[in-house]
Chain A
Amino acid sequence: MIEIEAPGRLLLGLVTGVLFGFFLQKGGVSKYAVITGQFLLRDFTMMKMMMTAIIVGGAGAYAMHSMGWVNLTIKPMLMGGVIIGALVFGVAMTVLGYCPGTAVAACAEGRKDALMGVLGMIAGAVVYAEMFPWLKSTVLALPDEGKITLPGVTGMPWWIYFAVLAAGAWLLFRWIGRKGYDHGGEA
């Protein structure tokens, strides 16, 4: 039997997901030209959106964490899994033109290629599960550095990171704008 979580929690997930999908679609990242355009360094929509979300979301999450309201959930730094997985992911994201979340959003826009991508992802999960024992003894057997954070490694307080990120992002996007590299919104 398939396990099902409590209805209240499922409803909460649905509400969160609806807003997530709404913001992704309005932000424009459910389009092939925007995602692939980012990797061609011609459309900086995705990077602007992600950096803003990271700074706003992160500063809030850390502030709430310091008040004891929320727990942080840090994923382990698997030297093999994260690096090799992300390199594969980057290739795939450029070919498909969507990431897992934005592929679902693109399906909602009636994009058939995104639907094929979603079917591919389900097939990919089956392949992954079959290959898991082998992966565990190879790529995933490489060192696991554990659930480490940048403030944990450097000892510098969290707010410095967000201040530097915000200043860096502002300068970077201003420079990109002045140079005329960003053709976002044209596609």
Chain B
Amino acid sequence: MNVLNKKRWSPYLAGTLLGVLSWFAFLTAGQPLGVSSTFVRAAGMLESTVAPEHVSANDYFKATKVKLDWEWMIALGILAGAFISSKMSKEEKGEAVPALWAARFGPSPGRRMLGAFLGGVLLIFGARLAGGCTSGHGLSGSMQLALSGWVFFACIFVSGVATAKLLFRGGKS
């Protein structure tokens, strides 16, 4: 069987390839892998269509310029790459309510969608406050041995583990 058609690769193989991909990013783009600023730029673009003056007057959109850039294409590329990968391995269509969530919060799709939306709001809020996400800080920052990257990595683990233990207490384990 072709390795590209396999559903899962070893995390060590996937991680090694991600590491090599980051060399490529440093060499060709002069910057490491990152994703989260794209959401700010996407928000700025959408908001610009209804309130352009409001966006151009905003200090944050001044600092994180609303533009179509390399990192934007990373996000689009992730969408395409993950799509190609899942098609090649004939991945079944993902369930709307993950089993782990359903076991704790019930099968209601509405509740899951609301949870996911609010999670997304908080996620980007945290990422922009920190100045990066799992890619920009967690991967790229940590690999450059940046103190900020390792502090980020440690803090998301502390709060993630605490949240998981609280949320799923009493749930199926």
By a beta-carbon cutoff of 8 Å, the part of chain A in contact with chain B is 2-5, 9-28, 30-33, 36-42, 44-46, 48-58, 60-62, 64, 69-78, 81-97, 99-114, 116-130, 132-133, 135-136, 139-140, 145, 147-151, 153, 158, 161, 184-185, 187
Contacts and interface: CB of A to CB of B under 8 A. Distances in A.
Interface of B: 6, 8-9, 11-12, 14-33, 35-36, 38-40, 42-48, 58-61, 65-86, 89, 91, 93-101, 109, 112-113, 115-165, 167-168, 173
B72 to A, nearest CB: 7
A27 B71 contact: no
Nearest to A133: B59
B78 A105 contact: yes
A132 B97 CA distance: 33
A105 B79 contact: yes
Contact of B127 (A20, A55, A89): A89
For the complex, would chain B's binding face be called helix, strand, loop or mixed by DSSP majority? helix
B106 to A, nearest CB: 14
For the complex, would chain A's binding face be called helix, strand, loop or mixed by DSSP majority? helix
Contacts of A26: 6, 8-9, 14, 85, 89
Given A20-B21, A132-B59, A58 B130 contact: no
A89 B145 contact: no
Contacts of B173: 40, 42
Given A12-B73, A124-B121, A129-B43, 15 more contacts: A3-B68, A52-B15, A53-B22, A57-B22, A57-B143, A87-B159, A89-B159, A90-B157, A92-B126, A95-B116, A104-B82, A109-B82, A114-B94, A120-B118, A121-B124
A117 B124 CA distance: 10
A139 B129 CA distance: 8
B120 A116 contact: yes
A135 B68 contact: no
| Residue with the greatest number of chain A CB neighbours at <10 A, chosen from B71, B95, B134 | B134
A124 B121 CA distance: 4
Nearest to B156: A90
Nearest to A158: B145
B139 A73 contact: no
A147 to B, nearest CB: 7
B159 to A, nearest CB: 3
A69 B25 CA distance: 12
B129 A54 contact: no
B17 A23 contact: yes
A64 B23 contact: yes
